[in-house]
Structure 1
Amino acid sequence: MESGQPPPAAMPQPLPCTEVRIPVPELGPWREGNTGLPGVWSFAAAAPGPHLAVVALTHGNEIAGAHLLLRWLRAGLRPVRGRLSLVFANLDAFARFDPADPTASRFLDEDMNRLWSVEQLERAVARPSSELRRARALRPVFDAADVVLDLHSMLWPSDPLILSGTTDRAARLALAIGLPPLVVADEGHAGGRRLIDYPRFADPRAKAIALLLEAGPHWEPETVETAAAAAGRLLGLLGLARPEPAEAGAAAPARPRLARVTRAVTAASAGFAFLREFRGGEVIARRNTLIALDGEEEIRTPHDDCLLVMPSPRPMRGHTAVRLARFVDAPPPARPGEPGHGP
């Protein structure tokens, strides 16, 4: 910004939609689990195969995934091979979910999806954190899983997507699921490691895979159905369930695309503001387009055809405001024995 010139005007930031259009899930008897860990269910088939863990309620107010897990439990879903584990993660935060104030129960003490470093999980920590205790309790489940699907939803308007972390094997599996068709490879947040960044999933030499599904807006019926469709496809890809036949006359699915994050923008000031309303999934055609101001710093697109990944119009200082990504070619085909390569 040249000296003496007024800064561009930032847009007033909109309020998110907080209407809850799905019922609050009734965990009831399903809260206890069958593994000795509350909220964790696990079922093994006689035939060998991979172990898939599907996780809901990593954030206590993101209830769409819990509806899917309850649907499967009530239907008596069992794997035809391998093992299927269903995890209701942050039970304590979910217990405080109130449709009149649905954003307040994301967590109790700290974000459970920023705790997945070995240092955080193993060192002696004096702070009284409900989420850290629960992450430590759940760690053996994820240490035993070959594939993890972490179900989330979104507060601000955005197209659904799958976050695959940094490994090619995760990107391949996400592209094979194909729903939603947008796959984003990224390195996470400055504030801490997500479950998909846990070392046994993020190590390029390892075999285990974790994916994070952002299935759509919080508290919407279509978000539950997107989660169900994506998770159902994953069950089929891994051979844990028989693939469902395509419906006659159904439209061909969109070709999945992979984008790699080139910059994660973290708000450095309380004055971060976008210049207009942006929707997640929007593509800015020209490099160097000004999209936001962070105090005196201009935030510009670093390349042509820049994908905006989950912009947050009201980020707190130190939190991710938006990720900027470039579309790239799919990674090489999966190796034999890699999850998703085939039964």
Structure 2
Amino acid sequence: MDPLTRQRGPAASLVLALLALAGAATVLATGPLAAPPEALIAALFGEGPPEAELALALRGPRLLAAMTCGAALAGAGAGFQILFRNPLASPDLLGVTSGAGFGAALALLLGAGVFLTQSAAFAGGLHAGALAVACAALTRSGDGRLALILCGIVVGALATAGLGVVVIAAEPYSQLPSITWWLLGSFTRATGAEAVLALAPVALGAAILLALGFRLDVLSLGDEQARSLGLRATPLRLLALAAAALMTSAAVAVAGVVGWIGLLAPHAARRVVGERAGALIPASMAVGALFALLIDRLSTAFGPVEIPVGLLSAAVGAPAFLILFVVTSRRA
């Protein structure tokens, strides 16, 4: 990474975070129940006009859920890409999202509440990621990156099969509609309590990844380099994996399966702040939050019927990633 990119990394991350906050203020200040920014700020302290307080009460939880989930998926995706030295690594390709989705869907089938659903999603995502890593280690392949992707696809397929079993077992009139809508991804049903509850695991996972900081950069160079500097590669990798899985599971438990954010946002942020984990992870979280706001706003922009954000994230994210990949490759 060039010295200019190294120097502008923290400042660029701050600018991206401010853009995400500005995007949130724009969403609240436009559309239904619109309120001017100064009224919204006053409403945060309980001194705003009734329309601003109503906008925060009705649209605030969904806005907070979208930003939290987008930041969580993007931060986890950046952690995976750094950790496994693989630009294609993401919660989707490594099976963590599918595993978390299976765990959460099973909890919903059993009638669990929000806390147990998030716990089940965390357990499913963690076990899926650990299984993918373990299978890749057993192959002893010369190209560990390819083995990891293939094992992640296999684990994701197994988790998807489990999801199919849950869908078949669900009661068709009471359980199945909610599980199906949740699997397509949506911020519609997110309550204030769920959004706030998701903040804790996301903040914890992000804090762990940021605390690891340069250790992740060293791990990206290989285990031998890490050991030469006195770092224990395996425990650090497992800790980072658990943190990324925790962030992913919290997002899946609140919004369902929303793909592409964890893959696209780190690539976009990397163009601005470079490869260092200390700058890339917060920048990716800011880009992910902004992208989630965009697709959530688009989901309600095509008429009275809301489009699931999981479908929109793929429809918008896939072409955007292709364009970003082509531009990057041609410049390289």
TM-score category by the smaller chain? under 0.3
Bigger relative contact order, structure 1 or 2, given CA contacts below 8 A and separation 6+? 2
Structure 2 length as normaliser, TM-score?
0.26
Structure 1 length as normaliser, TM-score?
0.26
- Of Structure 1 and Structure 2, which has the larger fraction of its residues in strand? 1
- Of Structure 1 and Structure 2, which has the larger fraction of its residues in helix? 2
